[in-house]
Amino acid sequence: MRLIIDTDPGIDDALALALAVTSPEVDLLAVTTVAGNAPVEEATDNALRLLRALGREDVPVAAGATRALVRIGMHNQPSPHGENGLGGVELPAPTRSLSEEHAVGLLASVLREAAPRSVTIAAIGPLTNIALLVAMHPELIDRIDKLVIMGGSTGRGNITPVAEFNIWSDPEAAQRVFACSHLETWLLGLDVTRRSTLDETALAILEARSHTGSLLATMIRGYGDIQPDGWPMHDALVIAAIVDPAIVRLQTAVVEVETGVGVGRGQTVCTLSSSLTASVGSAAPGTRLAVDLDVGRFRDLVLTRVAGLAVA
């Protein structure tokens, strides 16, 4: 499938890019960047370096939003992605330059050339660029097959007790995207992405196969977000679900985002369609929420694809 990745690399973003470029089903049309795990300049530099390491400097990269639409989030937790966003791993500098277009411009130019419902967008950072796209180019939404988002949680958060980082970073943007009723959206939240882990055994396999696999394993070991059964590769699950939808179980839901400034800011309130009430029944109908995943199938896909990396 034809794919655009909107990203803020990010260690799990790095694995998502690696999975995309090693999956023969994926035709990667563009990578756009957004401020999130790192300021947008650094996230963009990381994206360019990662694509060089992955042997895909032909994929256009454009830098996007430097900050959230309305309020800049403030927290005092150190980034789990380390100081440079890639767990301290220094990748060689890119040998090509960045697109001169803004990320939203590049997204629009790719979509403008596309047939209806022919492009999938993976949104694995804050949703600022995507909100700007739907606000500025509503005429291009019909070109999007689906938008697959890593974000939110129906329970515990990871940046506040109730909010997940990508949604919390720009709740107004997220609310704008979920309100886009004619866009099919899949939401993969912490409920499933916390379980899409790689453990030390998986990293040893990655490491043994190629220099790039070894760099990825080093990055992942430096990821400060660790669960009892390994490092959760939140963003890689998005690409895995696009490549092999049987990895996740989806249910139609209405998703609303708390945009108040209190302790609930950034929380995703998800109502499965089976329990819709009149009060939320008028919200966007096009969202499918991931409610379960096949962890074994996810790990197999990542290892078969990424550990088979042929590049240096």
Q: Which residues bind ligand BDR (CB under 6 A)?
A: 10, 12-13, 37, 124, 150, 158, 164-166, 234-235
Report whether 14 contacts 125 (CB < 8 A): no
Catalytically active residues, by annotation: 234
Candidates 8-16, 140-148, 185-193, 276-284 — which segment interacts with Ca ion by CB under 5 A? 8-16
Minimum Å gap between C-beta 163 and ligand BDR is 9
Residues 6+ apart with CB under 8 A from 107: 4, 6, 30, 32, 121, 129, 133, 137
Which residues, listed in sequence order, are joined to residue 185 by a DSSP beta bridge? 147, 287
Judge residue 90's burial from the number of C-beta atoms within 10 Å of its C-beta, 0-12 exposed, 13-18 middle, 19 or more buried. exposed
Tokens of 229: 């059964």
Minimum Å gap between C-beta 124 and ligand BDR is 5
Minimum Å gap between C-beta 281 and ligand BDR is 29
Minimum Å gap between C-beta 31 and Ca ion is 12
Q: Quick one: 80 or 114, whose CB is closer to ligand BDR?
A: 80
Q: How many residues does the chain have?
A: 312
Minimum Å gap between C-beta 240 and ligand BDR is 14
Q: Quick one: 13 or 42, whose CB is closer to Ca ion?
A: 13
Spatial distance between the Cα atoms of 17 and 15, rounded to a whole number of angstroms: 5
Judge residue 286's burial from the number of C-beta atoms within 10 Å of its C-beta, 0-12 exposed, 13-18 middle, 19 or more buried. middle
Q: Which does 158 bind (CB under 5 to 8 A by kind): Ca ion, ligand BDR, none?
A: ligand BDR
Q: Quick one: 143 or 267, whose CB is closer to ligand BDR?
A: 267
Q: Which of 3, 10, 46, 306 binds Ca ion (CB under 5 A)?
A: 10
Q: Which does 145 bind (CB under 5 to 8 A by kind): ligand BDR, Ca ion, none?
A: none
Q: Which residue is nearest to ligand BDR (CB)?
A: 165
Tokens of 218: 């080093």
The reply on whether position 125 binds Ca ion by CB under 5 A is: yes
Spatial distance between the Cα atoms of 87 and 155, rounded to a whole number of angstroms: 27
Contacts (CB under 5 A) with Ca ion, residues 212-241? 235
Q: Which of 231, 160, 247, 248 is nearest to 194 (CA)?
A: 231
Residue ranges in contact with Ca ion by CB under 5 A: 8, 10, 13, 124-125, 235
